[in-house]
């Protein structure tokens, strides 16, 4: 039996940097698992669309697809938009939706990678306060997850970690930076908890003007690619068990 196709579903953006980062991440996934077919579809703004990719796969005779939302929290897109698109897939396809990427220790590792690339070192952890800056959501579950991640990350040795949001929720990045200064952290770093550049990550960057360090977005970090494959494998297990594989 052929392995299910991995369909990575990204939101899409008018900002060309978004699609570039998504494609770079997908290429890293392919490099980590040669032989696995990995396709990319976008919900909006970019091509190919998710529906278009599903139609093409069905026309080729593909049977099994794992659809993986390129999302860090389980909010509206994971709960509503993506399931609706997948329900409209051609009938011949067996499509299983994988879990969103977060939370995961691999994402914390990727965040630390980006901070170290931006100039911090492990020796700086105990004296550095970090702003965990996410895009934001109106979904209480997603907001609670970000707060939980900040608490978990703080316990790995940082001076303090505070969540912040670029939209929909408070505090904003600049407010969290000021709070960490007031706490007496020797330095303040901003770690964008986002996958690709765009409008909201740019807002995070502007809010980080008072910080000492601003990390890059997660993008094609190797830990993120490993996490995509882990979510794919987890989603595949019930299908393979049902087929007796």
The CATH number covering residue 76 comes to: 3.40.50.1400
Is residue 187 domain-shared with residue 142, that is, in the same domain? yes
Q: Are residues 58 and 126 in the same domain?
A: no
Torsion of CA 9, 145, 132, 162, to 10 degrees: 170
**93 with 115, same domain?**
no
Task: For residue 241, name the pLDDT band (cuts at 50, 70, 90).
Answer: low
Q: DSSP class of residue 4? A: P
List strands edge to edge, sheet with 128-134: 160-165, 128-134, 187-192, 213-214
Q: Is the pTM of this model over 0.85?
A: yes
Up-side HSE of residue 103: CA atoms within 13 Å toward CB? 17
Claim to verify: residue 93 and residue 122 sit in the same structural domain: no
Q: Return the percent helix, strand and coil in the chain, to nearest 5.
A: 50, 20, 35
DSSP-assigned beta bridge partners for residue 8: 40, 68
Q: What is the mean predicted confidence (pLDDT) over 161-184?
A: 97
Is there a single domain that holds both residue 18 and residue 84? yes
Indicate if 111 and 67 belong to the same structural domain: no
Domain limits for position 199: 105-214
Q: What is the pLDDT of residue 244?
A: 59
Count the domains in the chain. 2
77 and 120 fall within a common domain: no
DSSP H or E run through 237: helix 222-242
Residues 114-160: tens digit of each pLDDT: 999 999 999 999 999 999 999 999 899 999 999 999 999 999 999 99
pLDDT band, very low/low/confident/very high, at 3 (cuts 50, 70, 90): very high
Residues 77 and 158 in one domain: no
Q: Name 233's Cβ contacts closer than 8 Å, sequence gap at least 6.
A: none
Same domain membership, residue 94 and residue 110 = no
Round the average pLDDT of the chain to a whole number and report it.
96
């Amino acid at each position: 039996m052929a392995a299910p196709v991995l369909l990575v579903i990204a939101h899409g953006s008018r900002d060309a940097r978004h699609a570039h980062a998504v494609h770079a991440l997908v290429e890293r996934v392919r490099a980590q698992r040669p032989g696995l077919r990995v396709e990319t579809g976008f919900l909006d703004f970019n091509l190919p669309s998710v529906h278009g990719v599903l139609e093409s796969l069905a026309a080729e005779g593909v049977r099994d697809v794992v659809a993986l939302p390129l999302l860090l929290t389980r909010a509206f897109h994971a709960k509503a938009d993506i399931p609706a698109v997948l329900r409209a897939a051609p009938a011949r396809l067996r499509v299983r939706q994988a879990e969103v990427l977060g939370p995961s220790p691999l994402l914390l590792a990727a965040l630390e990678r980006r901070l170290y690339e931006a100039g911090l070192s492990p020796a700086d952890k105990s004296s550095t306060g970090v702003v965990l800056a996410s895009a934001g959501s109106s979904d209480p579950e997603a907001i609670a997850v970000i707060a939980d991640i900040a608490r978990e990350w703080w316990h790995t040795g940082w001076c303090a970690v505070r969540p912040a949001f670029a939209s929909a929720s408070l505090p904003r990045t600049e407010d969290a930076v000021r709070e960490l200064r007031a706490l007496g952290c020797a330095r303040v770093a901003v770690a964008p908890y986002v996958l690709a550049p765009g409008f909201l990550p740019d807002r995070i960057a502007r809010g980080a003007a008072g910080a000492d360090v601003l990390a890059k977005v997660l993008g094609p970090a190797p830990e993120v690619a490993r996490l995509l494959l882990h979510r794919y494998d987890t989603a595949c297990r019930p299908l393979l068990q049902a087929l007796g594989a």
